[in-house]
Structures are given as structure tokens and as C-alpha cells.
Structure 1
Amino acid sequence: MAAFNFHFVVCLLLAVSLSSNIDSAWAARHLLQSSQPTQPTLPTIPPFPKAALPPLPAMPNLPTATLPPLPSTPLPTRPTNPSLPKPTLPPLPTSMPAIPNVALPPLPASSLPMMPSIPTIPTTMPSFPSLSPPPSN
């Protein structure tokens, strides 16, 4: 009984909150559709005088730097790595070994629980004699 009272109170609060939202939405729409107040005219702002900037000075000519010439002696060469003997690998086998067959023992029949059978769903609608139409005369 207490669960019914709780559900009833929750449904009642939900209905009241939804109906108040509808009323507030209607009031907001009514306010939006009413005549709009005229916007006040704002005073015009006078234009500011433009400040005249002095011209930028010209770029001075900078002296060009003279670089000494690169040395003409050739760079030393790196020593070569000594050649090492390459290891030889054994040849790969041409045939693969056979994998032994492993047979598992069968599971005992009593280890699994029996599954209940699924009932069939009726496809016809049952007829009730009290709800049948009256005979025609």
C-alpha cells in the first residue's frame, strides 16, 4: 500500500510540474506576441579627429660583412670497416613433423542440467462466448 501511495505522489508531482511548464510557456509566448516597446534613440557619437603620424625614417644602409674564404684542403676520409665473415645457417627442414592426435574423453550425460522446454506461442485468438456478437434475426 505504501508503494502505491509513493507512486501516486510522484505521478501527481509530475503532472503538476508539467502543467505549470505549459502555463509558463503560454505566458512567455503571449508576452512575445504582444506589442514590442519602441527602442530608445541613442545619441550620435561625434567622430574623433584623426591623428597625423610623422613619417617613418628611411632604413640606413648597413655595411656588408666580408667572410674569409673556406679552406681548400680536402676533408679527411673515414676508415673503412673491416669485412667480417658471414655466418652460415643450417638448412631448413623440408617436411613438417606430424602432430599427434589427442582424443578427449566424452562428457558424462548427468553433468549438464536439463533445459526446460520452451512453450509454443498460440497463433489464434481465443473466443469468449460472453463477448461474442448477438445472433442476427
Structure 2
Amino acid sequence: MMALLFSSIHVNKGARNLLQTTQPAIPTIPAIPTIPTLPNLPTLPNSMPNLPTATLPPLPSTSTPLPTNPTLPTLPNTQLPPFPTMPTVPKMTLPPLPSASLPTIPTTIPSIPTIPSIPFPSPPPSN
């Protein structure tokens, strides 16, 4: 039994060594190519060129008076007729509501009558 155990351990170690020696080598990673540098871009001027200033025509003089609004005609003071008053309605009196009396619920539970016991016949004597 011990020899069988020893031989299986020996076979397993040999298989493990065989697996370790037959693994492919890790490929080497090629070198990353260098990125070419960008050409120098022209620099922009810090200030905008001077633009010609526009000349506006002179404003009209304000010495001429502005036209005034024409006066509105005055409306005649017309009186409206008085608003008709509503006739007074007599107050209605309602009769008093009848007092609602709820039926009384009994608080005692009636007793349940006992059922008389029925005598069973005795079994016949066994021989």
C-alpha cells in the first residue's frame, strides 16, 4: 500500500516537471514607436488691430416742443338708476328632528342548553 502511494506521488511530480518545461516562452512586447512632435503653430497677436471709429449723425435739437395730446371731450355725468333691491324672504323654521333612539343590544348571552347523553349498548360478551 505504501509503495503504491509513493509511486503515485513520484508520477505526479514527474508530470508536474514535464508540464513546467513544456510551457511556451512569454513573447517579448515590441517597443512603442515614438510620437512625432507637432510643428510650431504661429502665435496670435495679443491685441486686436484698431478699428476705425464710426461717426454718427447729430441728433435733432430738442428745442422744438413735442406735439401735445388733444384734449379728450368730457363725458356727461350720467346717473344710473338705483339697483333694485331684492325682496326680503321670510325665514323658514324647520321642525325639530325626532330623537333617534337606537335599539338596545342585550349584554347577556343566553345559555346553551346541554345535550343529554345517549347511552350506548354494551358490547356482547365474548366467548
TM-score (ref. length: structure 1):
0.32
TM-score (ref. length: structure 2):
0.34
